Every structure is written in structure tokens, then in C-alpha cells.
Structure 1
Amino acid sequence: MPLPFLTADGVSDADDDGDEVLAHADHDRWRRPYRPGPWRVAISAVLLLLSAFMLLATMIVAFAGGGWGGAGACLVAALAVLGSALQMLRVGVWVSRTGLRRVGFFVTRTIAWNEVTEIRTVQQPVRWLGLPRTVQGQALTVSARGVAEPPVLLTDHNADFLTRAEAFDRAADTVEAWAEEYRPVPA
């Protein structure tokens, strides 16, 4: 596997063909225009640790002769926690050449760029870490054809951007730049 960061000029000698398209250069692939925040990663890490202990408990129950029913219940619970941790890492806004995708914990919604009429940052009450408590903050909203209320894409108080205002501004600017590049110009 070539490691271009180990060479002086940043180009690896092992990969001279140049046919490989890097993930950040391929605009047809869905990608998140920002990194997951520390709160999201910490919550997922705790859930992964919990699932590891639950899988260990499954093994103990199975080998101790506690019955396959108990081991099966522990395994199902451990896999549910593991799936929750992985889904927690996927939650957020994803963009590609085809449109904008808001991945939630239970629901994913995709909006094509030709349906988007406006993306803007507004001051409004936002949910703190996704909990029912609201605080005054910034939200990136998208207006689309056929949608009565503009859905909130990002907030500066969610698990990705809490206490990281500059990261929220960069992410909002990046999503707006994608919209400018791929949204059709109105005639």
C-alpha cells in the first residue's frame, strides 16, 4: 500500500499510473463534508465498549451452561448496541454530485440539488445535543420545493459542533459551496 505522506514530495513511486480516484476527489460518492465531532465519537466509543462487554457476557452465559436462550438474548442486545454505535457515527449531512442527504438515527432523507431553492445559516432556537432542551444558536437550513418547513441540517449545538464554532462555520460554508456548484441556475 503506497504511503505518499512518507515521501519528500508527497508522491509515491509505487503508484505512477494515476488511475485511482481518491475518495475526496470523486464527487459522485456520498461523503460528509466535515469530521464527526468529539461528542459523537465519544458516545459511539462508549456504546462500542458496552457492546464488547455484552459480547463477553454472551460468551460467558453460553459457556457456563446458562442456556442458549439467555446467550441468544445477550447476543441480540449486544448486536443492537453495536448497530446503534455505528449508526451514531453515520448521522449527519452527506453530499454528492446528485444531492444532499441528511442521515438521521432512524430516518434518512435525500434532496436532489435541483429541488434545493436556498441553503442559509440562521439564528434560531436549536436543540442542545439533540435533547429536548433548546438554546439560542445557529442552524444551517435548506429550503426545497414541496417542503413547507425548511429542515435543519446542522446546528452549532449538536454532537458534531458543540463548542466548535469555527468547525460549524467551515461545514456550513462547505455545504453552501456544494449547493452553489451543483444546484442548477434558475432561468
Structure 2
Amino acid sequence: MRSSRLILIAATAMFMMACNPDHAAPASPAQPVSTEGFIAATTDIQPANLPALIAAFDGDPVGVADRLERDIGGRSALTRYATAMIQHGQAESLGRQLARIQNQGEPLAQPQDQDGAVWYPRAEDAGFVTGGIGAVLATHKDALPAFAKGAGRSPPAADADLQAWLSEPATTLPRPARSAFDDAFRAAYRATRPD
């Protein structure tokens, strides 16, 4: 009688976890990571599961950036991901990923109406991801040449302002979109940077 009750409880728990993506197990090499599961999958990044995270980011950079910016735990997840990428020799890939987010062109400047206000979600997401990655790069400056190569840019000069260098691609945005980018950049950079 007791064992059948335990089986029923275990089956119910497994069903509930399967129906709720927030309780998904961290990805393994054989288990792809969805955009929705990206944050949860960064809780324990190992060399074996980093390729699944890279594939998720590469597959939907806009969706992952949006999740990181708006979901609880996004800042920490971004810090863990960027740090793991640099520590495992993937700074060039990280630069390529950021370039894809920053170089969306017109969609970055597209306003959206919400609750009677105008906002720029893509510019905000790009600023947030740029600031979070920038905070990690500030403590791993040796990775800048590889990162810059991936981003398709020349590395910053030794005396250059890293924040200004990272934000350069956003300088062509119209003023309101640029303000959204800058505000999100500063918030992510301050919150992510270890002092």
C-alpha cells in the first residue's frame, strides 16, 4: 500500500515538472536548451552543456536577450553565461552573438505602445545584454581581442573606455531608442559588475 502511494506521488511530481518549463532540469549535452529554459540551464554550466547553451543563443538571439532582460534571474544567468563562455575559450563566439543582437538594424529602433506609453523593447534588450557582457569583459580584458574578432570589430585601444566601445554600434539609433539602450546598458553593467 505504501509503495503504491509513493509511486503515485512520484508520478504526479514528474508530471507537474514536465508541464512546467520553469522546473526543467539543466541541459545535458544530449538535451537541447529552449529559449524559455535558457536561464534555468545556466545554473550549473559545465563544458559538456555549454554547446547546448550556445546553440540556444545562436538559434534565437532576440528571444534569449528578451528572456534575460525581463525574467527574474536574467542578470545572474547572463553573468554566468558570459563568464563561462570566456573561461572556456568562447569569447569569439560571445562577440559574434552580441553583434547579432546589436546589429538588428531597424527593429532596434521600432517603438511599441504599451499601457499608453512608448518603449523600445529590442533596444532595451540589446542594451541590457551589452551591459551585462561588458561587465564581465571588464574583469576579463585578456578576452577582448577574441571577443572583438567575433564581433567583427577592431579591439579597443588600451586606454579606450570599454563601455563606450561596446556601445558604439548603438550610436546610429534615433534618440529615444538610444536612450532605452543606454539606460538598460547602465543598469545591467552596474548590477552585473563585481566590485
Please state which band the TM-score falls in when normalised by the shorter chain: under 0.3
TM-score normalised by the chain length of structure 2: 0.22
Greater Cα radius of gyration, structure 1 or 2: 1
TM-score normalised by the chain length of structure 1: 0.23
